[in-house]
Amino acid sequence: MATTQVLLREDVEDLGARGEIVKVKAGYARNYLLPRKLAVQATASNVKQIEQERAALLKKEATERGSAEAQAGQLGSLSLNFQRRVGEHGVLYGSVTSMDIAEALKERGYEIDRRRIRLADAIKEVGEYSVQVRLHREVNVDIPVIVTAEGSAQTAAAPTAPASEASAGAETSTDTSAAEEASEETATE
């Protein structure tokens, strides 16, 4: 296989850090890294240019890490609670995904991309979980996530609850789709 050396302009997960020269397959460089401006060809002039930019990059890296550590300190005391509809055996009808966690963090004033939330699988059962959030290449924080049943009346009436919840879920999905269509109509006007 043909390989090429590229100079990374940004951190690329499982490949390297910004400013490193790495050897990758030519197709990966040509089709992914170069068009997205994540890397440039490792020519002598590009390497020289990056060396000149390295001081600025190190300073930028230090400020990014400092802000990530400050944000990690704030997130360290945070706990997220989700209430979901639950079946007979504590299994959720839906699931809690990284997108749900990102939205909950956004509601609390933290703008974190859902791809930075490390969740092996979606949470599908009631319980307490620890979710890792990668704020920076070297800064990670664990956030406790607690998933509980939506209401105690639903768990007490478990044998009849799934049929009534399924019909209630269908009604709410049509209500939200009607609301979305109304908002789209006003946006186009």
Q: Closest Cα to residue 166, out of 68, 105, 93?
A: 93
Q: 129 with 79: CB under 8 angstroms?
A: no
Tokens matching residue 19: 């400013």
The reply to whether CATH 3.40.5.10 applies to domain 3-67 is yes
Q: Determine the pLDDT at residue 158.
A: 35
- Per-residue pLDDT for the chain (189 aa), expressed as one digit of tens each? 789 999 888 888 889 888 888 999 999 999 999 999 999 998 888 888 877 777 787 888 889 889 888 888 888 888 999 999 998 888 888 889 999 999 999 999 888 888 889 988 889 999 999 999 988 888 889 999 999 988 743 333 333 333 333 333 333 333 334 444 444 444 444
Pairing of strands 39-41, 127-136: unpaired
Q: Tell me the CB-side half-sphere exposure of residue 177, using CA atoms within 13 A.
A: 6
Q: Domain 74-161: which topology?
A: Ribosomal Protein L9; domain 2 (3.10.430)
pTM for this model (two decimals): 0.57
Rounded CA gap, 147 and 155, in Å?
A: 14
Q: Determine the pLDDT at residue 55.
A: 77
- Would you kindly state where each structural domain of the chain is located, as residue ranges? 3-67, 74-161
Q: 120 with 131: CB under 8 angstroms?
A: no
Q: Tell me the CB-side half-sphere exposure of residue 95, using CA atoms within 13 A.
A: 9
Secondary structure (3-state) at 38: coil
Residue with tokens 């924080």: 141
Rounded CA gap, 38 and 19, in Å?
A: 10
